[in-house]
Amino acid sequence: METTTVKKILCIEDEPEMIDLIRLILGRRGYEVHGAAGGVEGARLVRKILPDLVLLDLMMPDMDGWEVYQQMKSEPNTRNIPVIIVTAKAQNIDKVLGLHIAKVDDYIAKPFGPQELLDSVERILAQKISPS
């Protein structure tokens, strides 16, 4: 059995219950889900494990998601990792800013359904596989 095809997903989120939920949903589909409790740990783990995809919360006490995102995009080895923003800040203006100005790959508002998360993750990873 080939193990190199397992996709690593890093969930940067300050609520452990949300990390557990995402791990449960994506783990059933065979994804390897790593959790980072907050932005500082998340920024460190992105560099360490170089995930295939990052699920990023915006509202975190130690370092907010936009700061983590800026750090990722400023470093050559992490700048091409796709990012899906997962946040309770679901106002339309934030969505527009996130998708168009910062060029995040997708945006999911909490609370979300398991299928919504899976659809977004699978769509973004499929786009990443296409030749760059």
DSSP states along 15-57: -HHHHHHHHHHHHTTT-EEEEESSHHHHHHHHHHH--SEEEE-
Amino acid at 23: R
Nearest Cα neighbor of 74 from 111, 55, 46 is: 46
Question: Is the model's pLDDT at 10 over the cut of 50?
Answer: yes
pLDDT tens string 83-108: 999 988 655 566 666 666 778 898 89
Bond prior to 131 in cis (omega within 30° of 0): no
Pairing of strands 53-56, 83-87: parallel
User: Which pLDDT value is given to residue 3?
Assistant: 46
Number of H helices, E strands in the chain: 5, 5
In order of their start, the domains of the chain are 8-127 (3.40.50.2300)
User: Which pLDDT value is given to residue 2?
Assistant: 46
pLDDT tens string 33-77: 999 999 999 999 999 999 999 999 988 989 989 899 999 999 999
